[in-house]
Structure 1
């Protein structure tokens, strides 16, 4: 007579914490490097702005439009890209994304005027579409809601590192102007585009699609992790959330609230990225390398914030408090930058930047707690694609303001107002679990504080 099968025992908190540390150690360094390279390739035109504008006769408005067009095609294709990744797996799809965006980034070296500039920026956005929401979806395969803000914060360190490294590196590459008959900005695009193509093969070889295919997890660890995540998804579904329908995503007011908050956040991020080097350059006689070094300072502050604060967003109420406070701090920093001397203004940008990725790592925990399956993939892509339209609107409007007034600092006040409105709206954001804890009259259920 065969022995009865015993029910698997749940992992102890200490064992689960050890698995979480292992996942962070094995997954996050590669994902961070991928994001570093992607951000270098999407934003290196910020450092190339002055020399490209001179060589190609680009106006400030044309530059702003070209910078923003990347986000237009990126946003339009994010939802189909994320749905494809959900079907074919993260390893294959992220590899494809990296190869195509790397080749198109190299092709930026051969821009000849406004038209080719616009076309290549649109194609670059289309190629990279789905990377960020794809990684946000990928993290749900590994981390539960309490751990996801921390993992996302580590991932967003890639943006900080890209801007810390990218400033001095880009400045040094620009000083290669004339080498082998190429402009400095051409060297910039080629040298920073090649690593994406090369790293794609590392991703193909190393990145597992999920816990079951991770060779560094034991069978028991992988099965225990998948049971834990499945239980969380089942809990969401049993409370009336966790829908698999894309229609439910579009009809969820919380998703659109998260989109608005994220839109205002992205307005600030990309306006800072694309116009800060020009603002610093206009304040004195700096070499391209010195501008690159000064441009890196706010991103050092952003890295410190991303590495330290998201771990405290481990409950719904704390997440909301940190999110709202972070948006207010960002607004205050921009006001300081708009009305101060160049030195104090740069300090104000650093204050704002400290909260950049604290805010972003928390925003995505709200929609990701409300859906499962294709709805989760589509929902995360919808939030990111609509929010990233801020990356199109911000630089475009900033370019028009600079061209019409001659002073890009005027646009910072508008950004500060948008951030303050977003802070007020963020007070209404709720995780899926909070809906179940809140009766129809809007008051928290007894014994279930939020």
Structure 2
């Protein structure tokens, strides 16, 4: 299927600021909506945790393992998925990802015990693999480095919105308990999984593979965007940036280490916060869902307000380090305080979740290009996402062993401090080439 161009080819190209605004308006709502559906489907088991234990005998340790198994197959499939997207185009591949993950997520309604729970979580990881690094790659086709952190921040709003609406929505769906003989958690999995299948058609119809395929850009505008981005990638990656070996450098591994620690934090909070809040007192499922959404409102505020300031390498590094330390401080408060201050601590930590994540991906993108960029972004995300396996798995064992999930939060706070120290040594590829005075003089275009 070919998207037909409807822009007058003779029209005068719009300026860069106007083009960036048009791109944001045309692309970001689609990508954010896809990520909302993605996160609803990968994390809705957090609300079903208690019911899975009661109905199927899935213990806290088994739940933690199942929550984490998603990330094993997800991580293993990231690089090949991104390389395929580089070949076949974003429109087809993202639509394919959405169809398969939606069907498998809906199939979670038919879980019978630990074995089927593990199998479906593993399959969900394979199905959804490639969405996040695929979008990170896709954004390099449209945005320069000064706008990309902001674009990533907006994309990550999908996680925030999913967790803001996911708790109350999941709680409401679980109130269908008993309808047609199904349990509430079965309705939740089914009714949150199928929308991804239908939205895949919207992606197929509306998402252009790159500027030259966008019907709302003139040929001159598309050429201007693609030529400018190619020059920027050449500047940062140098002569060796096309080689997959460029993914195996100290700076890439340093970015992976920081991202790994970040992902341990985010997914531990996602999968265990509802259970922690549930122990604050006598709360209904809906009340737990509403309170769970508060830290994600803070995360949305951070994602919208802060990444736009990461316009120079120095400023980006400072924001990255401060963000990691803020996350650590928030979890420290949460692990030591009473219910009210504890929830405020989670909110403080969440404020920086996606500020940090939007900046981390600037580093590999500034050093790679071509197939190496596609594979490198998948490699960074897959290695980092192993933290999504380690965090929930270890937290489940700590909770079952000590009876207190907050002990795990203290350990994660220390890990984040170490990550902040490591982040001090991160450098973007073009830092060694751009004069300091010029770098400080750059300003955000959008």
Asked whether 1:60 is paired with 2:60, we answer yes
CA contact (8 A) 1:175 1:288 kept: no
Mapped partners of 1:273, 1:33: distance in 2: 19
What residue number does 1:426 align with? 423
Correspondence list, 1:68-107, <5 A:
68-107=68-107
**Alignment correspondent of 2:15:** 15
1:201-253: CA deviation from partner (whole Å, max 9, x where unpaired): 1111110000011001112211111111122123234x456x11111211x11
CA contact (8 A) 1:173 1:188 kept: yes
Counterpart for residue 24 of structure 1? 24
Tell me how far 1:177 sits from its aligned partner: 1.1
Tell me the equivalent position of 2:245: 247
| Whole-angstrom distance in 2 between the partners of 1:212 and 1:220 | 9
Kindly indicate whether residue 401 of structure 2 is the aligned counterpart of residue 396 of structure 1. Answer: no
Is contact 2:176-2:183 (8 Å) kept? yes
Alpha-carbon separation, structure 2, partners of 1:382 and 1:66: 23
Aligned counterpart, 1:368 = 365
Distance 1:342 1:17 in 2: 46
The offset of 1:169, in angstroms, is 0.2
Give the whole-Å Cα distance in 2 for the aligned partners of 1:60 and 1:363.
32
Give 1:285 shift. Answer: 1.1
Q: 1:299 aligns with which of 296, 300, 304?
A: 296
Partner of 1:280: 277
**Distance (Å, rounded) in 2 between the aligned partners of 1:305 and 1:254:** 26
Residues 172 and 387 of structure 1: is their aligned pair in 2 closer, same or farther, counting only changes over 3 Å?
same
Unaligned runs of 5+ in 2: 1-11, 441-446
2:6 — aligned with what? none
Give structure 1 stretches of 5+ with no counterpart: 1-10, 438-444
Distance 2:153 2:260 in 1: 18
Aligned to 1:131: 131
Aligned mates of 1:288, 1:162 — CA distance in 2: 17
CA distance in 2, matches of 1:346, 1:391: 22
When the two structures are superposed, what TM-score results if normalisation uses the length of structure 1? 0.93
Work out the CA distance in 1 between the residues paired with 2:195 and 2:376: 31
Q: 1:449 and 1:289 mapped to 2: Cα distance? A: 49
The partner residue of 2:414 within 417, 433, 437 is 417
Distance 1:423 1:34 in 2: 31
- TM-aligned CA deviation for residue 174 of structure 1: 1.2
Q: In structure 1, how many angstroms separate the alpha carbons of the residues matched to 2:365 and 2:359? A: 10
Q: Distance in 1 between matches of 2:235 and 2:349?
A: 37
CA RMSD in angstroms, aligned pairs only: 1.4
d(CA) in 1 for partners of 2:67, 2:232: 40
Match of 1:116 in 2: 116
Is residue 319 of structure 1 aligned with residue 316 of structure 2? Answer: yes
User: Can you list the C-alpha shifts for 1:387-432, whole angstroms capped at 9, x where unaligned?
Assistant: 0000000000000000000000100001000100000110100000
Instruction: Work out the CA distance in 1 between the residues paired with 2:385 and 2:436.
Output: 39
Local SS of the residue matching 2:15? helix
Matched with 2:306 is 309
Q: In structure 2, what is the equivalent of residue 176 of structure 1? A: 176
Q: For 2:198 and 2:148, locate their aligned partners in 1 and report how far apart those are by CA, in whole Å.
A: 29
Q: How many aligned residue pairs are there?
A: 429
Name the residue aligned to 1:262: 259
CA distance, structure 2, for counterparts of residue 55 and residue 249 of structure 1: 45
* Cα deviation code 1:11-48 (max 9, x no counterpart): 99x81010000000000000000000000000000001
Q: Displacement of 1:53 after TM fit?
A: 1.1
Distance 1:162 1:74 in 2: 19
Contact 1:60-1:403 within 8 A present in 2 as well: yes
Aligned to 2:404: 407
Are the aligned partners of 1:27 and 1:207 in contact in 2 as well (CA < 8 Å)?
yes
Q: How does 1:114-263 map to 2 (within 5 A)?
A: 114-237=114-237, 239-240=238-239, 243-250=241-248, 252-263=249-260
Give the alignment partner of residue 340 of structure 2, picking from 339, 343, 348. 343
Q: Deviations over 1:360-384 (max 9, x none)?
A: 0000001100010000001101110
For normalisation by structure 2, the TM-score amounts to 0.94
Does the CA contact (< 8 Å) of 2:312 and 2:439 recur in 1? no
Match of 1:3 in 2: none
Counterpart for residue 9 of structure 2: none
Alpha-carbon distance between aligned partners in 2 of 1:222 and 1:278, rounded to the nearest angstrom = 49
Q: What residue is the counterpart of 2:432 in the other structure?
A: 435
Distance 2:173 2:149 in 1: 35
Task: Determine the C-alpha separation between the residues in 2 that align with 1:164 and 1:404.
Answer: 30
